[in-house]
Each structure stands twice: as structure tokens, then as C-alpha cells.
Amino acid sequence: MQNLGTVRHDWTVEEIRQIMDQPFNDLIFQAQTVHRMHFDPNEIQTSTLVNIKSGGCAEDCAYCSQSARNEAEVEKERMMAVQEVLEQALVAKERGATRLCMGAAWRNPTKKDFPRVLEMVKVVKGLGLETCLTLGMLDDDQVAQLKEAGLDYYNHNLDTSEAFYPKIITTRNYQDRLDTIDKVQKAGINVCSGGIIGMGEKHTDRAELLRTFANMRVHPHSVPINLLVPIEGTPLAHMKGKTDSFEFIRVIATARIVMPKSFVRLSAGRMTLTDEAQALCFLAGANSIFYGDKLLTTENPESDHDLQLFAKLGIRMQENAEAKLQSQQMAEQITELTA
């Protein structure tokens, strides 16, 4: 493959389909080759996800248990206090996470609650953790305030292709999501944006989703690839067991090839993947996970299990970004003193 590992923004769906559909061994070899060009193949970034406000969302996302329009048994809960978030951030940091991702079940943040969100960002950053938020759509003023507060990442998933999107969500359109991503990028905040595999979409929809990301003006810094977790009470509850793990791994590998410098994250759905399947995902270029036994409303492998898997594979957890920087600065100072 010509120019393997080069960052491009002009991919066609046909090119991406050709990558995704090639013999599995060739695909994995190419993905691992690209991965080694830009990352340590034996290091993984770990993020912990905290649900700061659960249930009652006005959106109608067919996969989501937090939608007020669905019948899943998820209680609507008040927004967390800053102190509660601080306590969870301390636990996450102690366990080795380098980033705290805070999610709220909103169509868009409310004026009443937004100041508390800004305070959460400041408090978590004060611990030396990277900060990420997912709050729905944002206006220009909110983006500016988040930038001023020091937010590192904003998560806003596209979920699927533009063509398949109306079958999953009708309360906002695809362009709404793209507009929010564009605002965040223009403000200089890193974007985290990914999709969900296994909602009934076609193979071409998966290629089209990756094309959308790969042709953005700036590739998302993090690309979470979720495997659908069918939840009772949601319109997609019947989709259990519909996606082959090899198809999921093909998406991971293709994402690595077309977005060579982005972190590719294993997100929801890891409970249904065997250790061997996860190992193949890491070989295919996944280098980030959600770490901790709970995502927003779904289960996630326990931290101890992840650590055992990492030990088997010889994978190291990425150091805390601030500690890593301090170590680099100290090494530079020592070099200057001994020169």
C-alpha cells in the first residue's frame, strides 16, 4: 500500500472499503506497521468515565438507556456535586487512569448547571489528570468557557454514517453533530469522536463513518469504537449477538490505517469480547481503553482483569501526562547539570 502511515484528508469510501475487506492477516500487518510508526506498540492510554448526570435525556438515540423516550430501567438522577467528582477522580488517578471523562445525559448543557461543569474541569485538572466532557451540543459561548476552564478533550460521537443516522436518531441531525465538533476544534480543544458497530448498519456505513472522520480538517485526537451493548427497553434490544468480533477488529484496524496519529479506543462492548479478541484489537492498533468496571450505564471489565490481560500481553499503562512531563523536565535538567 503506497504512503502507508501518511496523514491524509482525501479518502474515498472505495479506498476504505478496499482496506477493510483485504485478507485479515494483511490488514492486521498493515495496521500494526502504521501503529509502530507513531506509537509505542506496548503502551496503552487509560481513561475513566464518570456519569455526572444520569437519565432524562431529551434525545431519542435508539441504543441509549438514558433517553427519556426509551423504556430502559435507568433512574433519572441529579447532577453530581463537584466534591463527588473529585472523589471519583482521586480513585481513578490512584488506579492509574490518565484522563477523567465526565458525561451528562443532556441534549445540550443548561445555563443553570454549566458553571458547575466548569468547576469540575478545574478541580480535575488540579489533580494532574486530563479532562474530557460529553454534554451534547454546544454553542460558541459554552465552547469558549470550556476552553478558558482548561478542558483538554470534548467527546461528541457521530455514532454511524450520515445515511444510516436517521434510523438511529431523529431529534437532531448529522450536521448538528459536525457543527459542534467544528466549534470545538476551532477553539483548540481536542476532539474525541467515534461510532458504534452493530446497530444494523451495513458494511458500507462503517466505511463511510471512518471516511467522515478521516477527511475532517483535523482528525479526532481520540476515536472510540464501541460495540453495541443491546439494552432492554431500547429499540435496539433485539440486536444482541449480531456482530462478529472479526468485523469489529477490521473496523479497529482500518481506523488505525486511515487515522494514523489518532488514539483508537476500545469503548463499550468489551464485556462481550474475549481476551483473545481484545489482544487482536491491540495488535490492530487500538491503544486506549475505558478503564474501570462501569461506563455511563453499562458494565465494563474490572480493573484487575485489565491489569492481568496487560501483564499477559506485556502492555504498559501510559503514565500520567503531568508526571511524564515532570520526568522529562527532570531528565533534561540532569543532562544540563552533568554536561
Catalytic residue (one of 17, 99, 101, 281) = 101
3-state secondary structure of 325: helix
Distance CA 97, CA 130 (A): 9
Radius of gyration of the chain (CA): 19
281 among known catalytic residues: no
> Which of 17, 99, 132, 270 is flagged as catalytic?
132
Q: Which of 272, 307, 308 is nearest to 291 (CA)?
A: 307
User: Residue 68: CB partners within 8 Å, gap ≥ 6?
Assistant: 55, 56, 57, 58, 76
Instruction: Pick left, alpha or beta for residue 251 (phi over 0 → left; psi -120 to 50 → alpha; otherwise beta).
Output: alpha
Residue 66's closest CA among 54, 50, 77?
Answer: 54
Q: Annotated catalytic residue: which of 17, 99, 177, 192?
A: 192
**Catalytic choice (256, 265, 270, 281):** 265
**Which among 17, 64, 250, 256 is annotated as catalytic?**
64
DSSP E strand stretches across the chain:
43-53, 99-104, 130-134, 153-155, 190-192, 195-197, 222-227, 263-266, 288-290, 316-317
Q: Is 57 noted as a catalytic residue in this protein?
A: yes
Catalytic entry in 17, 57, 99, 177: 57
**From 17, 61, 206, 270, active-site residue:** 61
Report which DSSP code applies to 319: P
* Residues 6+ away with beta carbon under 8 Å from 315: 42, 43, 44, 282, 309
The residues annotated as belonging to the active site are 57, 61, 64, 101, 132, 192, 265
